[in-house]
Structure 1
Amino acid sequence: MSQWTKGAIGLSVALAGMAFSTNAHAECSRAMLQGLAATYVAAQAAGDPGKLPLADKAYYGENNLPVAIGAGVLSQPLPVDFTRSFLDTTQCATFTEITSATNAHPYVIHTRMEVNDAGKVTVMESIVTDDGDWVFGADAHLAQTRVEDWGEIPEDKRDRRGVLQAAADAYINNWGAPDLPVPHGTPCARLEGRIYTGSRNPEGNTCDMGAFPQPISTGNRRYVIDETIGAVSIFHNFSWIDAGLGPYHPGTPASQTFRILNGKNRYIHEVTVCTTPSCGRSRPGS
Structure 2
Amino acid sequence: MSTYIVGVLAVLVSIIGAGTNGIGGFLVGLALFGIGAGVYTLVKRRPSFLNLAPTKRAGGAALGVSAALLLVGSLLAPHSAPAPEAADADSVASVSSPAAAAPSATPSTTPSPKKSATPTPTPTPTPTPVVATQFADVSEPIPFASSSYDEPTLELGAAVTVTAGVPGTLVKRWQITTTDGVETGRALVSETVTSTPVDEVIAIGSLQPAPPPAPEPEPVADAGGGCDPNYAGGCVPIDSDVDCPGGSGNGPSYAPGPVQVIGSDIYDLDRDGDGLACD
Q: TM-score, normalised by structure 1?
A: 0.13
If asked which structure has higher relative contact order (CA below 8 Å, sep 6+), I would say 1
Whichever of the two has the greater Rg, that structure is 2
- TM-score normalised by L of structure 2: 0.14
Higher strand residue share: 1
